[in-house]
Amino acid sequence: MSIFDFFTKQILGMKWLSDLITSFVENMLNLDVNSRIGGSLQFFIYDTLKIFLLLTVLIFFISYIQSYFPPERAKKILTKFKGLSGATISALLGTVTPFCSCSSIPIFIGFSNAGLPLGVTFSFLISSPMVDIASLLLLASFFGMNISILYVILGLIIAIVGGTIISKLNMEDQIRIYNEKTRDLYGESEDFNQKQRLNYAFTDAKLIIKNVYKYVLIGVFIGSLIHNWIPQDIILSILGHKNPFSVLIAAIIGIPMYADIFGTIPIAEALFMAGVPIGTILAFMMGVTALSLPSIIMLSKVVKPKLLVIFVSIVTVGIIITGYFFNAVSFLL
């Protein structure tokens, strides 16, 4: 347990970095971290450095794994499965693919054009932005491994159940013909040598960091405002235990936003520190990552309105159930 605690607190949680930034703010800048300005500055510097340090390592590692699963290989794997097993394998493959819904949609289009079962493709589309190895470790660094693992498990369940339901509805006629060019994120050969894989991982990590850094900075800035400037009573009156609609509100708030899970984590951290229940926080995160408005607009170019409404409804219900479930069992976590 001491090794596990050291890993979660010092490696993932980077408590040493928090202490270092606190010392810098108090001793070098002469600001009290318990004050609004000092606390905001400490939060912003610490979370920014922490997230980018973790992202650099995690994305490099995960991009290396992704080099073994280009779309063509994923298609070959998925064509061997259908029904519940297909949805399950597809959801699991989604955990080692792109980190946001707008990056997942081009691969979803490729799967659809290849004639893969509809339920299989939607299981991938749900799981890919919502759950991955990076989100598992990043969540663990803020909320602990128990919450992180349960989040990933429930996210996979939403993806599997959602894909299975869609497959039962026989709505293949609801897919639009899409001939526009899409970005082929992982089209390279699966036969790379180790040097090529390392170069691939390095290049992909740089590209992803370049694409997500602004969302991380915005998320950390919003988190610092929530943590130090918005009265806790106001936050809890909207998203606290006493409001039975808090999970629904959190999910709806998240939908108009566009960010990946990396940009939502600092906001989630600030809400958690303000006393917002963990289920409500995770409903917000899932709403942002799986149902952001820009990704829905992109998806509408691929699927017709009837299927789009069903997809959004299934995922929304899954998110709300997950949020209330987490709140109900939070005392065990």
Report mean pLDDT in 10-residue bins for the chain, 333 residues.
66 81 92 90 90 82 75 72 83 71 67 79 84 76 82 89 90 73 52 82 82 82 86 88 90 72 81 90 85 76 87 90 89 72
Is the residue at 184 inside a domain? no
Is the residue at 190 inside a domain? no
Helix/strand/coil for 175 = strand
Q: How many structural domains is the chain composed of?
A: 1
Q: How far apart are CA 140 and CA 135, in angstroms?
A: 8
pLDDT at 81: 74
pLDDT at 41: 92
pLDDT at 102: 55
Please give the torsion angle defined by the CA atoms of residues 171, 173, 178 and 184, in that order, rounded to the nearest 10 degrees.
40
Helix/strand/coil for 88 = helix
pLDDT at 247: 93
Q: For residues 152 and 136, is the Cβ–Cβ distance under 8 A?
A: yes
Is the residue at 290 inside a domain? yes
Q: For residues 148 and 8, is the Cβ–Cβ distance under 8 A?
A: no
Q: How far apart are CA 24 and CA 272, in angstroms?
A: 25
Is the residue at 182 inside a domain? no
Is the residue at 44 inside a domain? yes
pLDDT at 260: 63
Residue 291 amino acid letter: L
pLDDT at 8: 66
Is the residue at 183 inside a domain? no
Q: How far apart are CA 134 and CA 21, in angstroms?
A: 24
Helix/strand/coil for 26 = helix
pTM equals 0.75
288 Cβ contact partners less than 8 Å away, ≥ 6 residues apart: 254, 255, 257, 258, 259, 261, 263, 264
Distances (CA, A) of 88 to 148, 171, 308: 20, 20, 21
Is the residue at 187 inside a domain? no
- What is the torsional sign of CA 24, 136, 100, 268? negative
Q: 102 is written with which tokens? A: 């707008």
Domain range holding 119? 2-175+196-332
Q: For residues 117 and 86, is the Cβ–Cβ distance under 8 A?
A: yes
Is the residue at 39 inside a domain? yes
With 0-12 / 13-18 / 19 or more C-beta atoms within 10 angstroms meaning exposed / middle / buried, residue 63 is buried
